[in-house]
Amino acid sequence: MKKITCLHPQWLIPVEPHATVLTQHALVMTDDKISALMPSAQAYQQHADAEHIVLDKHALLPGFINLHAHSAMCLLRGLADDLSLMDWLNHHIWPAEKQHVSDEFVFDGSVQAMAEMIRGGTTTVNDMYFYHQAVARASVHSGMRTVVGCSILEFPTGYANDADDYLQKAIEAYQAFAGQNGVDFRLAPHAPYTVADATFKKIVALSDQHQLGLHCHIHETLDEVAESVKLHGVRPLQRLHNLGLLSSKLIAAHVVHASDEEIVLLQKTGVHIAHNPASNLKLASGFARIHDMQNAGINVGIGTDGSASNNKLDLLGDVRMAALLSKAESGNPTALNAAAALEMATLSGARALGMGDRIGSLVAGKQADIIAIDLSALETQPVYDPISQIIYAAGREQVSHVWVDGRCLMKNRELTTMQIHALEDKARWWQARIATQSN
Ligand SMILES: [Zn+2]
């Protein structure tokens, strides 16, 4: 028998059509899908036997999509701060990863990160890390929709010996979880400066063969661009274009430094951008030209990056930052308005993942990935415009309910799939282990 649940919020914000706010409306979930949006009175009449949940202080909207994260790195949060990207990677993060990262580390770290993200209203994460099967298991454990980006680079780690080894493990992981609900895979060459031409070519071929999307850090810093010109005679984007990597299958994380010609190239090839404002600020990577990219017709979603470089997996906080930065960077206060920012955090992310027809908005037929935000707190009163309140004033702690595929993962701030105290204990256990071994 089908399970029908009717949600009756104060404000229903479907994201499609753009900037719409419905009142006195209900969302009807049937099993894992959204089956209808209709007037509340009609829902009570038509679905008298269904479960009715009244959310009379709340806005109901699609779950946030974190388009670039390294979930497991939350166990390294705060280990090294206030450094440049290459200093941070070469002298702190990569040595710590080499020493500590294991299947167990990645599972525990990913579960903790997913709990944090669910508590902040994120329902989908586009991840990129090692131990691909551990990330996939964490997704099944937490119930969070996850795209497992299988990191590929040239140098050895505890996980793999060389690029071919990473690639083989990626395909094995993808095949092991084939058909698993809520778990998808992407090939994730780490960055142009850690992956050789020959490997990029193999990645393009495997991506075509297995219909796998791509996810790569690109043009994160000026140093990366200068180094590529020195070594390859071209900037990274041009090099990747020559290797056949630029297409609508690619999510390019960062792209902080893009010339006018490169913005045209990104638009023509259909590349999607994962904008990471907090990470770009913290590592002083620069200000991405988001306003120009969006004006050129490029699809831009938003990511937190890993919590070692942010240090919060707080998509709501980061989307506010993206809106403010876009105005300052473009000198235009109308840039990235509240409704556009909300779309960036939801539907744009879904489109980047090739899931625009399944998630990212509250439309009949889509999967029921939904959140409720309680706007009754003093900090979000009065409510003239709920979309403005959500983007500019609400905090992630106001997210009260989360559903993924119609399954409730958080109810009135209580996680349903994980025990928060057990996760806190586990984090402290890892801290003791990492601190001891690092000394
Ligand atoms: Zn990253």
395-411 residue pLDDT tens: 999 999 999 999 999 99
CA of 280 to the centre of ligand 1 (A): 10
> Under a CB-based contact definition with an 8 Å cutoff, are residues 240 and 290 in contact?
no
pLDDT digits (tens, 9 = 90+) for 18-50: 999 999 999 999 999 999 999 999 999 999 999
Tokens 């904008």, located at residue: 275
The strand pairing partners of 367, in sequence order, are: 33
CA of 303 to the centre of ligand 1 (A): 9
Predicted pLDDT at 438: 52
Count the neighbouring beta carbons within 10 Å of the beta carbon of residue 23: 11
Predicted pLDDT at 436: 65
Give pLDDT < 70 ranges for the chain. Answer: 436-439
One-letter amino acid identity for 79?
L
> Under a CB-based contact definition with an 8 Å cutoff, are residues 15 and 347 in contact?
yes
CATH 3.20.20.140 residue spans of the chain: 64-352
CA of 128 to the centre of ligand 1 (A): 8
Those residues with Cβ within 8 angstroms of residue 192's Cβ, 6 or more apart along the chain or in another chain: 216, 218, 224, 228, 236, 239, 240
Handedness of CA 415, 420, 422, 427 (dihedral sign): positive
CATH 2.30.40.10 residue spans of the chain: 4-62+366-405
CA of 69 to the centre of ligand 1 (A): 6
DSSP β-ladder status, 145-152 and 183-189:
parallel
> Under a CB-based contact definition with an 8 Å cutoff, are residues 201 and 244 in contact?
yes
Considering the segment(s) 4-62+366-405 as one domain, its CATH architecture is Roll (2.30)
CA of 30 to the centre of ligand 1 (A): 36
pLDDT digits (tens, 9 = 90+) for 169-187: 999 999 999 999 999 999 9
> Under a CB-based contact definition with an 8 Å cutoff, are residues 276 and 300 in contact?
no
Handedness of CA 413, 416, 420, 426 (dihedral sign): negative
CA of 386 to the centre of ligand 1 (A): 31
Buried b (16+ CB within 10 A) or exposed e, 276-313: bbbbbebbebbebbbbbbbeeebbbbbbbbbbbbbbbb
CA of 47 to the centre of ligand 1 (A): 45
CA of 123 to the centre of ligand 1 (A): 19
What does the alpha-carbon distance between residue 176 and residue 178 come to, in Å, rounded to a whole number?
A: 6
CA of 191 to the centre of ligand 1 (A): 9
What does the alpha-carbon distance between residue 66 and residue 83 come to, in Å, rounded to a whole number?
A: 24
Please say whether the structural domain 64-352 has been given the CATH code 3.30.300.90.
no
In this prediction the pTM is 0.97
CA of 11 to the centre of ligand 1 (A): 34
pLDDT digits (tens, 9 = 90+) for 263-301: 999 999 999 999 999 999 999 899 999 999 999 999 999
3-state secondary structure of 114: helix
One-letter amino acid identity for 2?
K
CA of 215 to the centre of ligand 1 (A): 10
CA of 253 to the centre of ligand 1 (A): 7
For ligand 1, a single-atom ion, the residues with CB < 5 A are: 305
What does the alpha-carbon distance between residue 395 and residue 374 come to, in Å, rounded to a whole number?
A: 10
